[in-house]
Amino acid sequence: MRLPGVRVDKAARYILAHPLGFALQVLRAFNANQGMMLAGAIAYYALLSLVPLLILSVIALSHWVDQSELLVALGRYLEWLVPSQSQAVLGDVNVFLDNSVSIGAVLLVTMLFFSSLAFGILEKAMGQIFAHRGLVFKRHRLVSALLPYGFVLALVVALLVLTVATIGLQTLAQESIVLFGIEWSLVGVSGLFFYLLGFTAETLIVASIYLTLPVGRMPVRHALIGALAAMSVWEIIRHMLVWYFTSLSKANVVYGSLTTAVVALFCMEIIAALLLVGAQVIAEYERLERG
């Protein structure tokens, strides 16, 4: 049955007719490309660059935003990345800021080094997933070398925008409106805006990775659909992890002082795996489109 005015291409019709078969096809290709091993390497280097990136972001953005408000915003959005461990990560950042250690150059070099390694592995993973594109398209080495630093700069700018938006929402939460003679508080509304803002930001960041890292041109709708699917699954897993780590987990007994690092690495590996699975979905869809 075809809805009037709705055009469904051959690849989409195949997926709708064989959803389980397509899912298995994606998982087989993901396993053949050693997706979990690549996700682990990406997560490892991303974690090593996370704390230097946070410290440098706070130092840089403190010129425009109050540091305490910046840390509150960071804690809110870190919870999306490392569920139940955001306060522990911010504690390490606060210790560094309180000691006023002047090693900004060392932090910058450390962050750029590990970030470039993480993005380098991610780019190679994308090249392996989209191998059918590599037969047609090639990327200049200079562009590949500059991409990681462009992404780091874009993340800092995105953090500034999110912080300003968060401060605006926090101000809005303290207000109320009078409608039909009844005073309505905006606390619940601002909480919904916080959630939507964070989810939209992470979806757009993942979509930008899909758009820029694979060689060749990708339709924007493919990138957005892949990012939305990956981040929707992460949202479900994230809430399950929050419940598990706050209710059942004995990780602090097993790992002791290493708990924060272990949990953060585990969460980031899941995110990296979902990121690569989303890319694999797009790649398999493109293969179906090509017949």
Per the structure, how many domains does the chain have? 1
The 10s digit of each residue's pLDDT in 151-173 is 777 777 777 777 777 666 666 55
Distance (Å, whole) CA 54 – CA 73 = 12
Token reading at 235? 């949202």
Task: Specify whether the CB–CB gap between 208 and 154 falls below 8 A.
Answer: yes
Q: Nearest 5°: phi and psi at 183?
A: -85, 125
How confident is residue 187, by pLDDT bands cut at 50, 70 and 90?
A: low
18 part of a folded domain = yes
How confident is residue 270, by pLDDT bands cut at 50, 70 and 90?
A: very high
**Long-range contacts of residues 129-135, Cβ cutoff 8 Å, at least 24 apart:** 129/29, 129/33, 129/214, 129/276, 129/279, 129/280, 129/283, 130/214, 130/215, 130/216, 130/279, 130/283, 130/286, 132/283, 132/286, 132/287, 132/290, 133/214, 133/215, 133/216, 133/286, 134/215
Domain span at 104: 10-289
Task: Specify whether the CB–CB gap between 229 and 222 falls below 8 A.
Answer: no
User: Can you spell out the DSSP letters for 110-176?
Assistant: HHHHHHHHHHHHHHHHHHHHTHHHHTT----HHHHHHHHHHHHHHHHHHHHHHHHHHHHHHHHHT-E
Q: DSSP character for 65?
A: S
The 10s digit of each residue's pLDDT in 115-154 is 888 888 888 888 888 887 766 666 667 766 777 777 777 7
> What pLDDT is stored for residue 277 in this prediction?
93
How confident is residue 39, by pLDDT bands cut at 50, 70 and 90?
A: very high
The position carrying tokens 């757009």 is: 204
Average pLDDT over residues 168-179: 56
Average pLDDT over residues 195-213: 85
Compute the mean pLDDT over every residue in the chain, rounded to the nearest whole number. 78
Q: Strand pairing partners for 182?
A: 179
Q: Lowest-confidence range among 80-84, 92-96, 109-113, 216-220?
A: 92-96
Distance (Å, whole) CA 154 – CA 160 = 10
> What pLDDT is stored for residue 190 in this prediction?
58
Q: Nearest 5°: phi and psi at 77?
A: -90, -20
- Determine the residue type at 212: T
Distance (Å, whole) CA 216 – CA 218 = 7
Neighbours of 132 (CB within 10 A): 12
The 10s digit of each residue's pLDDT in 94-113 is 777 766 555 667 777 888 88
Average pLDDT over residues 242-252: 79
Average pLDDT over residues 226-245: 88
5 part of a folded domain = no
> What pLDDT is stored for residue 205 in this prediction?
87
4 part of a folded domain = no
Task: Specify whether the CB–CB gap between 201 and 162 falls below 8 A.
Answer: yes
